[in-house]
Amino acid sequence: MRNISTHAEVAQFTPGLFVETAESELHKAMMDLESEVRPSVESRASGFIDRNAYASALGRTSEIVSTINHYFDSVMVMADDSEVRANRLGMLRVLHKTLSLVVDLSKIVFAQQREQLEAAPM
Protein backbone atom coordinates (compact mmCIF):
# COMPACT_ATOMS: atom_id res chain seq x y z
CA MET A 1 0.00 0.00 0.00
CA ARG A 2 2.82 2.39 0.78
CA ASN A 3 4.26 1.94 -2.70
CA ILE A 4 1.05 2.75 -4.51
CA SER A 5 0.12 5.59 -2.15
CA THR A 6 3.32 7.44 -3.09
CA HIS A 7 1.70 8.09 -6.48
CA ALA A 8 -0.78 10.43 -4.78
CA GLU A 9 0.04 14.09 -5.20
CA VAL A 10 -1.71 14.96 -1.94
CA ALA A 11 -3.01 13.08 1.09
CA GLN A 12 -6.62 14.05 0.57
CA PHE A 13 -9.73 12.67 -1.07
CA THR A 14 -13.42 13.35 -1.55
CA PRO A 15 -15.87 10.63 -0.45
CA GLY A 16 -18.39 11.97 -2.99
CA LEU A 17 -16.14 10.63 -5.76
CA PHE A 18 -16.34 7.03 -4.54
CA VAL A 19 -17.65 4.69 -7.22
CA GLU A 20 -17.33 1.26 -5.59
CA THR A 21 -18.93 0.10 -2.34
CA ALA A 22 -15.49 -1.11 -1.18
CA GLU A 23 -14.26 2.51 -1.26
CA SER A 24 -16.96 3.59 1.19
CA GLU A 25 -16.32 0.55 3.38
CA LEU A 26 -12.60 1.28 3.55
CA HIS A 27 -13.27 4.96 4.25
CA LYS A 28 -15.54 4.08 7.19
CA ALA A 29 -13.05 1.56 8.57
CA MET A 30 -10.24 4.09 8.20
CA MET A 31 -12.17 6.85 10.01
CA ASP A 32 -13.13 4.43 12.80
CA LEU A 33 -9.51 3.32 13.12
CA GLU A 34 -8.21 6.89 13.25
CA SER A 35 -10.61 7.84 16.04
CA GLU A 36 -9.69 4.72 18.00
CA VAL A 37 -5.90 5.08 17.68
CA ARG A 38 -5.89 8.79 18.52
CA PRO A 39 -5.54 8.14 22.32
CA SER A 40 -2.42 6.04 21.70
CA VAL A 41 -0.91 8.75 19.51
CA GLU A 42 -1.70 11.48 22.02
CA SER A 43 -0.20 9.49 24.90
CA ARG A 44 3.02 8.93 22.93
CA ALA A 45 3.26 12.63 22.11
CA SER A 46 3.19 13.42 25.83
CA GLY A 47 6.17 11.14 26.39
CA PHE A 48 4.16 8.44 28.12
CA ILE A 49 2.75 5.36 26.46
CA ASP A 50 -0.59 4.10 27.65
CA ARG A 51 0.00 0.37 27.16
CA ASN A 52 -3.71 -0.41 27.03
CA ALA A 53 -4.37 2.27 24.42
CA TYR A 54 -1.40 1.13 22.34
CA ALA A 55 -2.35 -2.56 22.55
CA SER A 56 -5.89 -1.65 21.55
CA ALA A 57 -4.57 0.43 18.63
CA LEU A 58 -2.40 -2.47 17.43
CA GLY A 59 -5.31 -4.85 17.66
CA ARG A 60 -7.62 -2.47 15.83
CA THR A 61 -5.00 -1.99 13.12
CA SER A 62 -4.91 -5.73 12.49
CA GLU A 63 -8.71 -5.82 12.20
CA ILE A 64 -8.76 -3.49 9.20
CA VAL A 65 -6.65 -5.89 7.10
CA SER A 66 -9.65 -7.77 5.69
CA THR A 67 -11.27 -4.48 4.63
CA ILE A 68 -8.05 -3.39 2.94
CA ASN A 69 -7.76 -6.75 1.17
CA HIS A 70 -11.37 -6.50 0.00
CA TYR A 71 -10.69 -2.99 -1.31
CA PHE A 72 -7.74 -4.13 -3.41
CA ASP A 73 -9.69 -7.16 -4.66
CA SER A 74 -12.66 -4.99 -5.69
CA VAL A 75 -11.25 -1.64 -6.78
CA MET A 76 -9.00 -0.74 -9.69
CA VAL A 77 -6.96 1.97 -7.99
CA MET A 78 -5.31 3.14 -11.20
CA ALA A 79 -8.63 3.90 -12.88
CA ASP A 80 -8.76 5.46 -16.34
CA ASP A 81 -10.65 8.47 -14.96
CA SER A 82 -7.89 10.71 -13.60
CA GLU A 83 -10.13 12.30 -10.95
CA VAL A 84 -11.24 8.92 -9.59
CA ARG A 85 -7.64 7.64 -9.71
CA ALA A 86 -6.32 10.68 -7.82
CA ASN A 87 -9.09 10.30 -5.25
CA ARG A 88 -8.28 6.63 -4.68
CA LEU A 89 -4.58 7.31 -4.40
CA GLY A 90 -5.25 10.17 -1.99
CA MET A 91 -7.35 7.93 0.24
CA LEU A 92 -4.63 5.27 0.25
CA ARG A 93 -2.10 7.89 1.25
CA VAL A 94 -4.31 9.01 4.13
CA LEU A 95 -4.79 5.37 5.13
CA HIS A 96 -1.03 4.80 5.10
CA LYS A 97 -0.54 7.86 7.31
CA THR A 98 -3.26 6.62 9.67
CA LEU A 99 -1.70 3.16 9.96
CA SER A 100 1.71 4.76 10.48
CA LEU A 101 0.37 6.50 13.57
CA VAL A 102 0.49 3.11 15.25
CA VAL A 103 3.28 1.18 13.56
CA ASP A 104 5.76 1.68 10.75
CA LEU A 105 4.80 -1.27 8.58
CA SER A 106 7.89 -0.83 6.41
CA LYS A 107 10.04 -1.93 9.36
CA ILE A 108 8.40 -5.34 9.67
CA VAL A 109 10.66 -8.17 8.56
CA PHE A 110 9.07 -11.56 8.01
CA ALA A 111 10.87 -14.77 8.98
CA GLN A 112 11.78 -15.67 5.39
CA GLN A 113 13.20 -12.19 4.79
CA ARG A 114 15.20 -12.39 8.01
CA GLU A 115 16.68 -15.73 6.94
CA GLN A 116 17.66 -14.24 3.58
CA LEU A 117 19.25 -11.24 5.27
CA GLU A 118 21.20 -13.43 7.67
CA ALA A 119 22.38 -15.73 4.84
CA ALA A 120 23.53 -12.86 2.62
CA PRO A 121 27.32 -12.45 2.39
CA MET A 122 28.70 -9.37 4.07
50-95 pLDDT tens trace: 677 777 777 888 889 899 999 999 999 999 999 999 999 999 999 9
The model carries a pTM of 0.74
**Greater pLDDT, 119 or 63:** 63
Q: Residues 117, 110, 66, CA angle at the centre, nearest 5°? A: 155
Residues 23 and 74: their CA atoms lie apart, in Å, by 9
> Residue type for 24, please?
S
The rounded distance, in Å, linking the Cα atoms of 21 and 85 is 15
Cα 1 from chain centroid?
A: 7
Could you tell me which residue, 90 or 114, shows the higher pLDDT?
90
Neighbours of 32 (CB within 10 A): 14
